[in-house]
């Protein structure tokens, strides 16, 4: 093949092939955590579930089981920053959660990356979307899985804005 020609998959020899994969977005919270599954090829997401949390801790076996069963290759954890971009108490807890998740994934020898992505205003947007579409009937109905979908959309819009968890220093 000529060096100017493309190979069979449509990429030049110098371009790496990016394999489509599933992404799990997590809207971290102390009482509950919203989950959405996203597809890197179609760049779409769907609400998946809302997990109960015990003071910021999930049922780790259940969460790792979901990652295994669904064949998730990447986890994006929402980082709840203050509006000025500074850290909040909850964002520090989200950092800690993401580090623990990455550690547990590593212990299981799973080929899964974990990153953090800014989630400012996702809950407000999720509540408006859910209300407008009739998905919720009361102001306090859970919308955490919808927030996770919005987080995934934020990630798809600019994947380079997320921070790999191994690049985040421990507190």
What pLDDT shows up at residue 166?
Answer: 66
Decide: pTM greater than 0.75. yes
Q: Pick the residue with more confidence: 136 or 114?
A: 114
Q: Which tens digit of pLDDT belongs to each residue from 30-42?
A: 999 999 999 887 8
Map residue 70 onto helix, strand or coil: helix
Which structural domains are found in the chain, ordered by start?
22-167 (3.30.420.140)
The full DSSP string for 118-171 is E-TTHHHHHHHHHHHTTS-SSTTS--HHHHHHHHHHHHHH-GGGSEEGGGSPP-
Q: Which tens digit of pLDDT belongs to each residue from 69-117?
A: 999 999 999 998 878 878 888 889 999 999 999 999 999 999 999 999 8
Q: How far is CA 9 from CA 12, 13, 15, 17, in A?
A: 9, 10, 11, 8
């Amino acid at each position: 093949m000529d060096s100017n020609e493309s190979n069979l998959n449509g990429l030049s020899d110098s371009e790496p092939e990016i394999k489509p994969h599933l992404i799990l977005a997590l809207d971290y919270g102390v009482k509950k955590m919203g989950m959405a599954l996203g597809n890197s090829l179609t760049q779409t997401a769907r609400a998946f579930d809302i997990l109960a949390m015990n003071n910021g801790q999930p049922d780790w076996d259940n969460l790792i089981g979901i990652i295994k069963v669904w064949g998730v290759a990447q986890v994006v954890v929402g980082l709840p920053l203050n509006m000025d971009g500074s850290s909040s108490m909850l964002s520090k807890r989200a950092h800690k959660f993401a580090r623990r998740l990455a550690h547990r994934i590593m212990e299981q020898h799973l080929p899964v990356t974990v990153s953090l992505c800014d989630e400012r205003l996702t809950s407000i947007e999720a509540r408006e979307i859910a209300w407008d579409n009739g998905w919720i009937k009361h102001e306090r109905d859970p919308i955490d899985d919808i927030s996770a979908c919005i987080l995934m959309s934020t990630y798809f819009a600019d994947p380079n804005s997320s921070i790999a968890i191994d690049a985040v220093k421990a507190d």
